[in-house]
């Protein structure tokens, strides 16, 4: 593994930020109805007390920050059922003249969940990105996203093109598209699946695992290959210690994340969004995961690959290569930052 160019310390002390209800009505609904404290559930309070040295609190979104906030911002966004520590091995290898802000999306890591009982919505996650950018007052920023975080980035960059200076996407091309003829069946399936999941969870205690059991479960249940070290990195932030002590943990992630909630759009509609991405874009694809680009992501791959503002690079590895083997990825990201994102 390459040697870090500079040390990245954890945040020295926790700082708490809250948006007012008028600034964030979705969060206000969540807080007013389900939380005893503004932006902080009992689960969050336990997690925060155990990890207070690592967190910046942005209402219901938790984040880690690296580097001086006087530098240009890079917003780092993880994939489904991961957390912001997915970037913990990559960031020390990247240029030190940026302010890296790594968030836990709602329902992940140390962040609170969206209100229960209803299906998750892709557009609400895009809104989460906007709340973060607005909170920090960034007129523009660099966006770095892995998997689902990269999908959000492609859409955010098309919806708010003036806000994204450069876009870096790790091992995805955008959300999958759907056949419009299947819309009634797809919507019905999503509603029924969400309600079925809720019924199963009612009155049921979350399963409890030892730390090693949880790590093994993460590795076994993942479609991609995580090294044991990488799984332990994600688990340290993705688990909640039961009763505050002992080797007993539950998973922090929202169980609704196991259900599908990509946009119900055919590719022609998604293309309208992608066409509006005007900033320089880098797609870094893992060569062991490229079968998707001849199947359900074929249209997105063919469209993006022909765009004049897009660079596509392929590295050896699986979906989590940026975490497992960051030395295979960092030079591509660094060169792109230096070439297209100078400040």
User: Interhelix angle for 148-159 vs 267-274, to 10°?
Assistant: 70
* CA torsion through residues 75, 317, 285, 228, sign: negative
Please give the C-alpha separations between residue 197 and each of 18, 93, 108, 186, in angstroms, as whole numbers.
Answer: 31, 41, 18, 16
Would you give the distance in Å from CA 260 to the centre of its chain? 15
HEC assignment per residue over the chain: CCCCCCCCCCCCCCEEECCCCCCCHHHHHHHHHHCCECCECHHHHHHHHHCHHHCEEECCEEEEEECCCCCCEEEEECCCCCCHHHHCCCHHHCCCCCEEEEEECCCCCCCCCCCCCCCCCHHHHHHHHHHHHHHHCCCCEEEEEECHHHHHHHHHHHHCHHHEEEEEEECCCCCCCCCHHHHHHHHHHHHHHHHHHHHHHCCCCCCCECHHHHHHHHHHCCCCCCCHHHHHHHHHHHEEEHHHCCCCEEECCCHHHHCCCCCCCCHHHHHHHHCCCCCCEEEEEEHHHHHHHHCCCHHHHHHHHCCCCEEEEEECCCCCHHHHCHHHCHHHHHHHHHHHCCC
Tokens of 20: 């007012």
Pairwise CA distance, residues 212 & 222, whole Å: 16
Pairwise CA distance, residues 89 & 324, whole Å: 8
For residues 187 and 264, the answer to whether their CB atoms sit within 8 Å is yes
Would you give the distance in Å from CA 211 to the centre of its chain? 23
Please give the C-alpha separations between residue 152 and each of 90, 252, 264, 302, in angstroms, as whole numbers.
Answer: 20, 21, 14, 19
pLDDT of residue 181: 87
Pairwise CA distance, residues 188 & 98, whole Å: 45
pLDDT of residue 229: 95
Domains and CATH numbers, the chain: 15-174+259-340 (3.40.50.1820)
Prediction pTM value: 0.83
Q: Which residues are catalytic?
A: 147
For residues 67 and 8, the answer to whether their CB atoms sit within 8 Å is yes
pLDDT tens for the chain, 343 residues: list them: 444 333 333 332 223 333 334 444 333 333 322 222 233 333 444 333 333 334 444 447 889 999 999 999 999 999 999 999 999 999 999 999 999 999 999 999 989 888 877 789 999 999 999 999 999 999 999 999 999 999 999 999 999 999 999 999 999 988 888 888 888 999 899 889 988 888 887 777 888 999 999 999 999 988 888 999 999 999 999 999 888 768 889 999 999 999 988 888 888 889 999 999 999 999 999 998 877 777 777 888 889 989 999 999 999 999 999 999 999 999 999 999 999 998 7
């Amino acid at each position: 593994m390459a040697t870090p160019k500079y040390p990245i310390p954890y945040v020295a002390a926790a700082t708490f930020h809250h948006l007012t209800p008028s600034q964030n009505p979705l969060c206000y609904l969540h807080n007013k109805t389900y939380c005893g404290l503004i932006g902080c559930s009992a689960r969050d309070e336990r997690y925060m007390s155990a990890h207070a040295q690592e967190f910046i609190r942005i209402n219901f979104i938790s984040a880690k920050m690296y580097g001086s906030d006087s530098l240009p911002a890079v917003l780092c966004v993880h994939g489904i059922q991961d957390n912001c520590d997915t970037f913990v091995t990559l960031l020390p290898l990247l240029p030190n003249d940026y302010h890296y802000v790594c968030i836990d999306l709602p329902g992940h890591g140390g962040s609170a969940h969206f209100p229960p009982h209803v299906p998750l919505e892709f557009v609400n996650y895009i809104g989460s990105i906007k709340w973060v950018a607005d909170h920090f007052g960034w007129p523009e920023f660099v966006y770095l996203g892995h998997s689902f975080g990269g999908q959000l980035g492609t859409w955010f960059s098309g919806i708010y093109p003036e806000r994204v200076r450069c876009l870096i996407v790790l091992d995805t091309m955008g959300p999958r598209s759907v056949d419009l003829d299947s819309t009634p069946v797809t919507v019905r399936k999503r509603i029924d699946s969400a309600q079925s999941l809720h019924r199963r969870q009612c009155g049921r205690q979350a399963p409890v695992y030892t730390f090693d059991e949880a790590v093994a479960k993460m590795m076994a249940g993942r479609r991609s290959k995580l090294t044991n070290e990488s799984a332990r990195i994600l688990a340290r932030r993705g688990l909640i210690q039961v009763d505050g002590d002992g080797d007993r943990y539950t998973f922090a992630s929202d169980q609704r994340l196991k259900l599908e909630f990509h946009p119900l759009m055919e590719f022609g509609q998604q293309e309208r969004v992608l066409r509006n991405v005007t900033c320089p874009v880098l797609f870094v694809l893992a060569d062991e995961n490229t079968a998707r680009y001849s199947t359900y992501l074929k249209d997105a791959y063919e469209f993006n690959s022909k765009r004049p503002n897009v660079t596509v690079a392929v590295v050896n590895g699986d979906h989590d290569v940026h975490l497992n083997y960051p030395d295979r990825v960092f030079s591509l990201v660094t060169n792109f930052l230096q070439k297209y994102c100078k400040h």
